[in-house]
Amino acid sequence: MSETLNVLKTRRSCRAYKPDPVEDEKLNAIIEAGTYAATGMGKQSPIILIVKDKALRDKLMKMNAAIMGMDIDPFYGAPELLIVLADKAMPTYIYDGSLVMGNMMNAAADLGVASCWVHRAKEEFESEEGKAILKDLGIEGDYEGIGHLILGYAANPLPDPKPRKANYVYRA
């Protein structure tokens, strides 16, 4: 089996991380993979926000937890946080941003880095607080949060894949 297919079949979401940061070389490769995702008409509507500032990470963590209505760390202690947003002016922006997320998750798995897509970025960045964060970072435009990609090294073994459902594929 090709290595690509093996990565696609074995990648799993991780919800428990070691505190060790991801090496810059690997993190940069994961981000680069995101920039090569297919986008509608090649317009590249998404942007990737790399969150290294602990205060900002903690603020986003609290915002995300509040949207959930829970007092937990929705980022599961992951040491790295990337956020994908996409320009709503492009009709394919949600799909474009989703492909960026997928490329980065698969690249991470290929490099031995665990990941998980955490939702509620849409709600975070629709809020006045979220819009202010983007403005403070110099990000202008009508962007929608697509997802948070948490990255790090798994604290526990990742689960085996579930069997594929019987009616997944139809042929005509």
pTM above 0.75, yes or no: yes
Rounded to the nearest integer, the mean pLDDT of the chain is 97
Give the start-to-end residue ranges of the domains of the chain: 3-7+10-152
What mean pLDDT is predicted for residues 14-41? 98
How far apart CA 19 and CA 101 sit, in angstroms, is 22
Q: Map the chain to HEC letters.
A: CCHHHHHHHHCCECCCECCCCCCHHHHHHHHHHHHCCCCHHHCCCEEEEEECCHHHHHHHHHHHHHHHCCCCCCCCCCCEEEEEEEECCCCCHHHHHHHHHHHHHHHHHHCCCEEEEECCHHHHHHCHHHHHHHHHCCCCCCEEEEEEEEEECECCCCCCCCCCCCCCCCCC
- Mean pLDDT within 120-137: 98
> What pLDDT score does 43 carry?
96
Q: Mind listing the pLDDT tens digit for each residue in 69-97?
A: 999 999 999 999 999 999 999 999 999 99
Give yes or no for a contact between 121 and 85, defined as CB atoms under 8 angstroms apart.
Answer: yes
pLDDT, one tens digit per residue, over 64-74 is 999 999 999 99
- Does residue 82 contact residue 104 with C-beta atoms inside 8 Å? yes
Position 1 confidence tier, pLDDT thresholds 50, 70, 90: low
Whether domain 3-7+10-152 has CATH 3.40.50.280: the reply is no
Average pLDDT, stretch 135-139?
A: 97
- Percentage of the chain beyond pLDDT 90 is 98
Q: Once rounded to an integer, what is the mean pLDDT over residues 20-49?
A: 98
